[in-house]
Amino acid sequence: MADEKLSEDLVKLALQKFGRLDIAVNNAGIVHAFVRLPQVTSQEARRVLEVDLLGVFYAMKHQIPQMERQFRESGKGGAIVNVASVAGLSGAPKLSVYAAAKHGVMGLTRSAAVEYASKGIRINAVCPAHTRTAMVDGFVRSTGAPEAEALAELTRGVPMKRVGEVAEIVNGILYLADPANSFMTGHSLALDGGIGAI
């Protein structure tokens, strides 16, 4: 479950360690069973929404006021990067609640970006497709198929015919957080192996 107190405590920890909060990356993601919408249990749906959507909301709720204070005091606010998903930009068959949560992350990103654009806070999102993470590894194991076969099925609709690597997503996050990109806010950066071009 997402923990609002933890989000608040992490902002306090950043202030204790660094005296400021210049960059925040909100990466919350779990997935439900790969099934059609009626087969998703209500308990699973609540858990995915709690972690994937409310987890990001709680984090931003405590990060934004600190960055706004910094902007008032020093003229320098900060940058927030939310990790959404390519599933937050289009439909995701058999991942309906996950997609809904990630669409919600995009709604939070865009809405807050507009609210704080003149207050020194840039808020963007990175939207990766399947990436070699514990979540994807868990999916591959759950299929019971050999890894190469499961990955081939997973990437069937990806023009690059592979999953992303964590370093590729990190590079996108660094790009969005970079102060050199000071005119970019409310943006969704798709790192999807070409899915969005189809």
Distance CA 173, CA 190 (A): 11
Both tokens assigned to 61: 């709720």
Any idea which residues carry the catalytic annotation? 98
